[in-house]
Amino acid sequence: MTEKARSPRSLLGICAALAVAAGLLWGGSAAVWYRVTAVGGEVVELTGGHVAAWLTGVALLALAGIAGVVATGGVLRRLVGLLFAVVGFGMNVIVPAASMRDPYATDAPAASLPQPPPGVSVEALRYQPVEATLAPVLVIAGGVAMLMAGLFVIVWERRLPRFGARYSAPGARRVEPDPDRAAWQELDAGRDPTAERPEAAGDDPDDGRRSSDV
């Protein structure tokens, strides 16, 4: 596939998908997932950060992935895409399962359960009425965006531009070399910049030498 077939728009779309995924994951971590009525009647709100503390880290990973997709190419870029695909798929398996169960209706150790806000103990929330919200849908949508971005990187890597390599956008203006700078470079190399180069004199390199002897 030629360099002209590379599509900067495809790379821009992948970066946009990763940015959207990061925003959705960040919003899902800050949104309220559960409202639990504690002992005594106090309503405690649990955000995505309480239920899944790793959401913020995955959001930052999606942002860092934008630079990773832009700066890499070839096999390394496909590995980056595979990472996003695996993480995105994993979130679409873990998050729905976590959002459908009562976070405190379990005999698991308190340290393994979602940690409530300061001043509220885990024991005060065990087996209490729980109201779930639709906030986990944000995280699921972010996982889908990350999964799709990773799959597109894997499948369409050869169509994505490779910055830092021998790639230039179609129609880019060719920069002509500076003649003065070229002359200094010739002098530094021990060559006479005013002498005619053999290849410029014709197909036969001897033509240039014969013409200079006249």
pLDDT tens for each residue of 45-62: 999 988 888 999 999 999
Low-confidence ranges of the chain (pLDDT < 50): 1-4, 165-170, 172, 200-201, 211, 214
Domain range list for the chain: 3-159, 179-213
pLDDT tens for each residue of 82-122: 999 999 999 888 888 878 788 888 888 888 888 888 888 88
Helix (H) or strand (E) holding 32: strand 32-37
Helix (H) or strand (E) holding 60: helix 55-71
Question: Could you write out the DSSP letters of every residue in 117-162?
Answer: PTT--SGGGTT--EEE-STHHHHHHHHHHHHHHHHHHHHHGGGS--
What's the confidence (pLDDT) of residue 104? 87
Enumerate long-range contacts of 103-110, CB under 8 Å, 24 or more apart.
103/34, 103/36, 103/46, 103/51, 103/130, 104/36, 104/128, 104/130, 105/130
| pTM (two decimals) | 0.69
Which architecture, in CATH terms, is 3-159? Up-down Bundle (1.20)
What's the confidence (pLDDT) of residue 197? 58
Tell me if 170 sits within 8 A of 21, measured CB to CB: no
What's the confidence (pLDDT) of residue 185? 72
Tell me if 108 sits within 8 A of 67, measured CB to CB: no
